[in-house]
Amino acid sequence: MRLIIVGTLNGQLGAASQIAMDNGAQVTHAPDAEQAFSLLRSRGADLLMVDVALDIKPIIADLRAEHFSVPVVACGIGTDARSAAQSIRDGAKEYIPLPPEAELIAAVLEAVAEDSKSFIFEDPNSLAVVKLAEQVARSDASILITGESGTGKEVFARYVHEKSNRSRKPFVSVNCAAIPENLLESELFGHEKGAFTGAVARRIGKFEEADGGTLLLDEISEMDIRLQAKLLRAIQEREIDRVGGNKPVKVNIRIVATSNRDLAHEVREGTFREDLLFRLNVVNLRVPPLRDRPADIVALAQHFAKKYAEANAMPDRPIAADTMGFLKRHRWQGNVRELENTMHRAVLLAQGDEIGPDAIMLPDGSRPEGVEATAPAGGSDSADHRANSAAADGDAGAQALVGKTVAEVEQELIIDTLKHCLGNRTHAANILGISIRTLRNKLNQYEAAGLSVPQPGWGDKTPV
């Protein structure tokens, strides 16, 4: 990971830098924001660590103005709560007090950069793909990784890079679906000063950032066909033209691309260039869906249960055997992402010594097929009576929704879930299956409309 530390940090800079380097980061120092932006434009970075003695708010604004999608972590001497809170309000993702603690910096670097090196597989279907990846990794051949959304295509791409002869060079990823069409060309190839409105200085693109290493073009099927022609030339000629430039720039990279679509079908539809497909698809790694990798479901479920127990300071509970059976039978249309979110919720909802079936809940509030809530101990109702009661409750619940808009039902669900979590936004977002940003936007809307929104610490009892 490429880290730029911005500021002087009153003598703590060396210690923070060394800890970051010990955790695998490539560290560069910039004494002020101006030099930090110069480094960003010429080298790129994955993370900025900024001294709170500097004004973070304009730095965040300038990052957005120049379309840098680089997270910012604030740091400062001591544990000034006011400075920490202000830095978060100004746009920093985290705050690290100094003198630095090795474990804290390591955890923040991993969490903010989202660069998990975990590559977990146990299933023979996964093993076959891994063996093929290892076989071709040391070549410079372009690789196309295909599979459904959430199967772990980027994880396989990183694995190929780590096993390649370029492993000590950068691994740079660009999500072609997440960047607006009019900005993607500049993101890939860079631009010269004045090339377009907002181009305040020369900036290198992802191709130059990845020089000597690997460039991942994630979800390449989303790229406009007009830009595909320029991409094809860059791959064939091993040189790029910056937007607004008049001199080609040589690059030495290995291309890995991913797609969740059938690119042969896209070629027939006229939305993807056939010659580009041939150039990318020298080797195809097809990642099977999670439902075809039952042994991976077991390994990943155990991994996520442990991970989120630690993250939420909760007991590390084993997964009950009947719960694991339900997990293995579920279809997992969202693949690994869906399983991860489900296990995160399960860790938060679990009671007792194990993660039982009651803790397994899907994003829409339903349960996987065959999972039922445990009946209260000592109940004497017959199975038929319980079924009839459940049906009656379901009818009553449905009747209660009649006459309400979707927005009203959504609002009630969000507020009730937030109350259940005692106002904890992170827990509520995970139970709801939405991002924390989406939840915050919804809550801001509700507050603007005059609705009372539960704050952290709401209530006086532990959620069940």
310 and 298 Cβ atoms separated by less than 8 Å: no
> How large is the C-alpha radius of gyration of the chain?
25
What is the C-alpha separation between 254 and 213, in angstroms, rounded? 6
* Residue 59: C-alpha distances to residues 1, 52, 211, 241, 430 (Å): 21, 11, 27, 28, 30
Q: What is the pLDDT of residue 103?
A: 66
Helix (H) or strand (E) holding 189, with range, is helix 181-189
Contacts of 307 (CB under 8 A, 6+ apart): none
Amino acid at 142: S
Q: What is the pLDDT of residue 298?
A: 95
CB count within 10 Å of CB 371 equals 21
Asked if omega into 248 is within 30° of 0 (cis), the reply is no
Tokens of 352: 């007792």
> What's the CA angle centered on 13, arms 75 and 69, to 5 degrees?
50
CB count within 10 Å of CB 117 equals 10
Residue closest to 115 by CA, chosen among 123, 107, 124, 126: 107
Q: What is the pLDDT of residue 98?
A: 74
Helices (H), 114-224: 124-137, 153-162, 181-189, 206-209
Q: What is the pLDDT of residue 379?
A: 42
Question: CA-based diameter of the chain, in Å?
Answer: 83
Amino acid at 334: G
Contacts of 215 (CB under 8 A, 6+ apart): 172, 173, 174, 206, 207, 253, 254, 255, 256
Question: Could you list the pLDDT tens digit for every one of the 464 residues in the chain?
Answer: 788 888 876 666 667 777 777 776 788 888 899 989 888 888 888 888 888 888 899 999 888 888 787 888 888 776 567 777 888 888 888 888 877 666 667 666 666 554 444 578 899 999 999 999 999 999 999 999 999 988 999 999 999 999 999 988 889 999 998 888 878 999 999 999 888 877 778 888 999 999 999 999 999 999 999 999 999 999 999 999 999 888 899 999 999 999 999 999 999 999 999 999 999 999 999 999 999 999 999 999 999 999 889 888 888 999 999 999 999 999 898 899 899 999 999 999 998 899 999 899 876 666 666 555 444 344 444 445 444 544 444 454 455 566 677 777 788 888 888 887 767 787 777 778 787 778 888 888 888 777 888 876 554 433 33
Tokens of 64: 């957005």
Domains of the chain: 2-113 (3.40.50.2300), 124-288 (3.40.50.300), 293-359 (1.10.8.60), 402-464 (1.10.10.60)
CB count within 10 Å of CB 47 equals 21
Helix (H) or strand (E) holding 217, with range, is strand 214-218
Helix, coil or strand: residue 390 = helix
